[in-house]
Structure 1
Amino acid sequence: MDVQLLLVMTGALIIAAFAHLRGLQAGIVTVTLAAAISFIPGLPRLELDPELILGVVIPPLLYSATLNFSFFAFVKNLRSILGLGVGLVVFTTVVVGFLTSWIAPEIGLAGAFVLAAVVSPPDSVTTVSHGREIGLPRRTISILTGESLVNDAAALTLFAVAVAAVTGDSEFIENPFLLFGWEALIGLILGVVIGRIVIAVRRRVGNPTIESGLNLLVPFLAYFAAEQLHASGIIAVVAAGFTVSISHFTVRPSTAPSTAYRTRLQEAALWPVVDLILEAFVFAYMGLQFRFVLEDLAESSTPTWSTIGLGLIVLLAVILCRFAWVYFSYGRAQLALLIYAKRVAASLDPSAARRQRRRGGPARPVEGRPGRTDRSRRPDSVQRLRMQQRLDSATGPNGRRGGRPGPGGRQGGRDRGHITVLTPAENLLVSWTGMRGIITLAAAGGIPLTIASGAPFPGRTIIQTVAFIVAVGTLLLQGSTLPLLAKTLRIDTTAEDAEVEEGRADARAVAAAAVAGREDNTSGEYFDLQRAALTQAVVDRKISPASAGDVRHELDALQAGVTPLLD
């Protein structure tokens, strides 16, 4: 097994290197070639314990994605993220569960919901990590990344409840809503506590290698500690990642070691390597299961073609569920904003006001206030100015949806960060980015062999086969066409890119002002003053955290270039 794992990882990395040289998507190429390799005669089956996958592969991938994702962007898009990460998972589980029980009644309603919970969570972290390369807008990347950080927890909770209903076992908390609340709350608390402890230890070490080693342990500590308390290890990992990432925006004591910049640079190079190895292994593992899934299906009493047909129907169902949810959720917000904008625009149009007065006759006196007329139909200059400001804050001064947000997500003087309205092209991209992955396969592999009475778990082979079809099908169908779709839609990110560059320019100006007049541009204090100024500017909401992070990374690289390794 050890040699087989090593060979799989080595082969996956070689395939990834080949795909990179050819400009191809490494994940798609790896899955396809691994599926073909699985038919080599005599090739042993690589079968891992699902708990090993959930506890060793998933935590570092989620933790790395969290470290590279802005907590402030997560909060700004929280409503959209929870809608996709929790609401869509529940919606997909309900629809697919009832659909499966109707098509395949032999597995029962509870078994159908086990299958639905298995296939409900998209796993698009790998895809959106290369989002800018394939042309995804930054806001779309933020929403999809945030969704991937929370949907696994919701799906695994539903999976545990559904499996318990089939086997007859009792969960730690039988009420699914209370169970999810417990898992989320305790996981969140544990993640924050572990993150704070690691931050405190790292600040006293002063050695970049040891600090990076401690950071590598964080996802595993958070995951297994939460699982021991029947909490969500996924949420604990995400909470720990955010806790560590936002610690960069706190002012460190003057006596702290001046090696933090080296630690950040070292980890910036370390985590992409971890991601590459784990992602390559995940895709290879998925492909290598192909032949053995077909063999398991052929050896069972389940009709092969009917199971494959069920898998294709479920594949179509999960895709359509995502389209329906995305267009319903964002379509309502877009329609409401459009109606609001039209009403305000009509109020600002003098000709429309005159037509309204002609239709309604002279201005009516206001009841109880003699001599005053109803001005609601004739906005004066002050009223029109206020309405124009409200319209600009909702649609932007150029009439487009969404004005330019401020550093903290404030827009037009009002905090509209909780409202997200996507363009039709962005709606299509979010709807199409619903690839399933290793979570689906791990959950399917974790289905018990028997129920409490000792009888076989009903429909276990069907569930695992359908889960494999959905995972590989969405990856090959949606994952392979997503770059082409993004290119075809030609979403103009010029304004978005200009806004990012403007934010970076503001952050550079803040950093430069902090050291104006100083000539010791190679000392540690010179760079520390600039970082402290950036942190304070973020606290004062003068610049965005993302811009501050980009400029801080530039300062880290500059300091590493002018500072000896041993100072």
Structure 2
Amino acid sequence: MPRLSQPIRDDLPILDAILIGLGGLLIILAVRVAADRTGMPAAVLFVLTGTVLSVLPGPTDHLDPDVVLELLIPPLLFAAALNASLLQIRSHLRLIASLSIGLVLATAVAVGVTLDLLVPGLGFAAALALGAAVAPPDPVAALAIGRRARMPERLTTLIEGEGLLNDATALTLYGIAVSAAVGGGFAAPEGVGRFLWAVAGGVAAGLAVAWAVRLVRTRVEDPLVQNALSLATPFGAFALAQSAEASGVLAVVVAGLWVGHQSSRIDTSETRLQTRSVWRLIEFLLEGYVFLLIGQQAPEVVDGLGEYATSTVLAAALGTVGVVLLVRPLWLLWLRRITRVSDGTTLSLREVVALSWAGTRGVITLATAFALPLDFPDRHLLLFCAYLVVLVTLVGQGLTFAPLLRSLRLRADENEERRVRAEARLASIEAGIQRLDELLADERVPPDVARRLRRAYISRRDRAAAGLRSLTDDDDEALDRVTAGVEALGRLRREMIDAERDELIRWRDAGRLPDASLRVLERELDYQEGSLPG
């Protein structure tokens, strides 16, 4: 018995870690449920919850910048890139590049100049390091709110593209500024060279990893192997770029965009379903954790301010927040005058207002601020300014973004989206019928089987054509009838599938159907139910 007590004591730290992990998971689940029921942005609730937890008795997590930038950011960026549209980003690339490069540089420099004037003895290089940290928006909260509010596709693409590409600019500039502040000065040619290499090397590393992943996934059909490879892809791209002193963040984004664009060609249907589910779960957990983490840093951020005069803290904080909030709309107004997007129209004033309010900051801003060396000039003051920018933009703009979109009447045209989907659906059905006729002509399928399939496809084509006519003719009554019919079909099929599933369970419970066979049949029903409308 005495020999058993020592291993139990050794295992207690592991047990504590497990309990803390379970507690964190329960908090994430509870906050997400509360967000769904109240309609409040989940990111805002996570930050507020983390702030409350930070002042309560008990352990809180310290933000380790290396963990955030090397373990949390790559999968989050990769998941976002998988869901982004490479073609849409390319069609708006000039405007997105202006936001993700030009606006980031302008914001960083403006913050640097402002703090250099407001905080005696800080120095421009140190102030620029903070400017680089607070310059890149984190679009997670803005996109989640915008999608729920049915934000137009172009705004979604601009916010998404900016958020995917701006981190590389900010982190490269941040590294240059920190080196200058610690080393004693800027070397402009060296800084430009490092920036260009970071971009070129990051793009090359991302494309190389994406090419290797595509090569493997076209030769492996096992969905589990393909999903394991998908999980490794962002870390492989990040590590390859970082080892070459290029931008790991940009490499992850490029790899994610290319892999997501090629998914329809290289993945099986089962792989795509699994991959989508896996990455949705990863996004859900990591986003909840990082926003909770932001809230929990409040005590540490505030603790180091005692050595500064109140006037200095207020001047630095208000100056930083004011510049961040002011530069973005000014830049967008300037872009509106000089830039035309690919479809030949300029940004409207309503779009400028919406994009200005979508500049929420997040975990990358805080992680880069925490990564400042411990002996960095006025580190505590800079950390407080960065934290305040995150709170003001994330909580203030996050809570008001949806009402702003509604007041601006910026909403996607649902009928146009339905029309495009209906046209594509009809074209795909016609392609299926044509392929069936080709196989029948080559005598590669039995005629009776082909006739049954052709009747089923023609029935689908007729329903799709009727739905398309109701959308293109602007016949509200016909559209209502089609919509009601589709909804009724979905409800009836779900009732029937529930009955099928209950019968299979009765067979299993009666010992007439093995569990392995039940799972096979259940998966067939799950796929059918997943394809139903509504």
For Structure 1 versus Structure 2, the TM-score category normalised by the shorter chain is 0.7 to 0.9
Alignment match, 2:441? none
Tell me how far apart the structure 2 counterparts of residues 477 and 153 of structure 1 sit (CA, whole Å). Answer: 26
Matched, 1:485 2:404: yes
For each residue in 1:424-454, what CA deviation from the matched residue of structure 2 results, as whole angstroms up to 9, or x when unmatched?
21111001111111001110011112xxxxx
Alignment match, 2:288? 280
Q: 2:392 aligned to 473, 479, 484, which one?
A: 473
Matched residue SS, 1:205: coil
Taking a change above 3 Å as real, the CA distance of residues 511 and 52 of structure 1, as seen in their structure-2 partners, is same
Taking a change above 3 Å as real, the CA distance of residues 281 and 501 of structure 1, as seen in their structure-2 partners, is same
CA contact (8 A) 2:333 2:352 kept: yes
Tell me how far apart the structure 2 counterparts of residues 209 and 172 of structure 1 sit (CA, whole Å). Answer: 49
Return the offset for 1:516.
1.6
Matched residue SS, 1:132: helix
Taking a change above 3 Å as real, the CA distance of residues 26 and 227 of structure 1, as seen in their structure-2 partners, is same
CA contact (8 A) 1:45 1:292 kept: no
Tell me how far apart the structure 2 counterparts of residues 40 and 174 of structure 1 sit (CA, whole Å). Answer: 50
Tell me how far apart the structure 1 counterparts of residues 451 and 301 of structure 2 sit (CA, whole Å). Answer: 62
Matched, 1:500 2:515: no
Tell me how far apart the structure 1 counterparts of residues 108 and 345 of structure 2 sit (CA, whole Å). Answer: 25
Return the offset for 1:22.
2.3
Return the offset for 1:508.
1.6
Tell me how far apart the structure 1 counterparts of residues 294 and 379 of structure 2 sit (CA, whole Å). Answer: 18
- For 2:224, the aligned partner's letter is T
CA contact (8 A) 1:122 1:148 kept: yes
Tell me how far apart the structure 2 counterparts of residues 521 and 118 of structure 1 sit (CA, whole Å). Answer: 64
TM-score (norm 2): 0.76
Matched residue SS, 1:320: helix
Task: Give the 5 Å matches for 1:210-229.
Answer: 210-229=225-244
Alignment match, 1:71? 86
Alignment match, 1:447? 372
Alignment match, 2:333? 327
Q: Answer 1 or 2: which has greater helix percent.
A: 2
Alignment match, 1:296? 304
Task: Give the 5 Å matches for 1:54-453.
Answer: 54-168=69-183, 175-248=190-263, 250=265, 260-298=268-306, 301-304=307-310, 306-333=312-339, 417=342, 419=344, 421-449=346-374
Return the offset for 1:150.
0.8
Return the offset for 1:309.
4.0
For each residue in 1:345-372, what CA deviation from the matched residue of structure 2 results, as whole angstroms up to 9, or x when unmatched?
xxxxxxxxxxxxxxxxxxxxxxxxxxxx
Tell me how far apart the structure 2 counterparts of residues 283 and 106 of structure 1 sit (CA, whole Å). Answer: 33
Tell me how far apart the structure 2 counterparts of residues 10 and 559 of structure 1 sit (CA, whole Å). Answer: 27
Return the offset for 1:421.
1.6
Taking a change above 3 Å as real, the CA distance of residues 492 and 435 of structure 1, as seen in their structure-2 partners, is closer
Tell me how far apart the structure 2 counterparts of residues 320 and 64 of structure 1 sit (CA, whole Å). Answer: 31
CA contact (8 A) 2:149 2:411 kept: no
Tell me how far apart the structure 1 counterparts of residues 408 and 115 of structure 2 sit (CA, whole Å). Answer: 34
CA contact (8 A) 2:134 2:361 kept: yes
Alignment match, 2:65? 50
Matched residue SS, 1:485: helix
Return the offset for 1:156.
0.5
- For 2:56, the aligned partner's letter is I
Identity %: 33
Tell me how far apart the structure 2 counterparts of residues 140 and 420 of structure 1 sit (CA, whole Å). Answer: 14
TM-score (norm 1): 0.72
Alignment match, 1:337? none
Return the offset for 1:214.
0.9
Matched, 1:27 2:43: yes
CA contact (8 A) 1:82 1:147 kept: yes
CA contact (8 A) 2:46 2:292 kept: yes
Q: 2:380 aligned to 461, 476, 488, which one?
A: 461
Tell me how far apart the structure 2 counterparts of residues 170 and 219 of structure 1 sit (CA, whole Å). Answer: 34
List gaps (5 residues or longer) in structure 2: 1-15, 437-448, 458-523
Taking a change above 3 Å as real, the CA distance of residues 458 and 196 of structure 1, as seen in their structure-2 partners, is same
Return the offset for 1:263.
0.7
> Size of the alignment, in residue pairs?
434
CA contact (8 A) 1:96 1:317 kept: yes
Matched residue SS, 1:122: coil
Tell me how far apart the structure 2 counterparts of residues 68 and 473 of structure 1 sit (CA, whole Å). Answer: 28
CA contact (8 A) 1:30 1:287 kept: yes
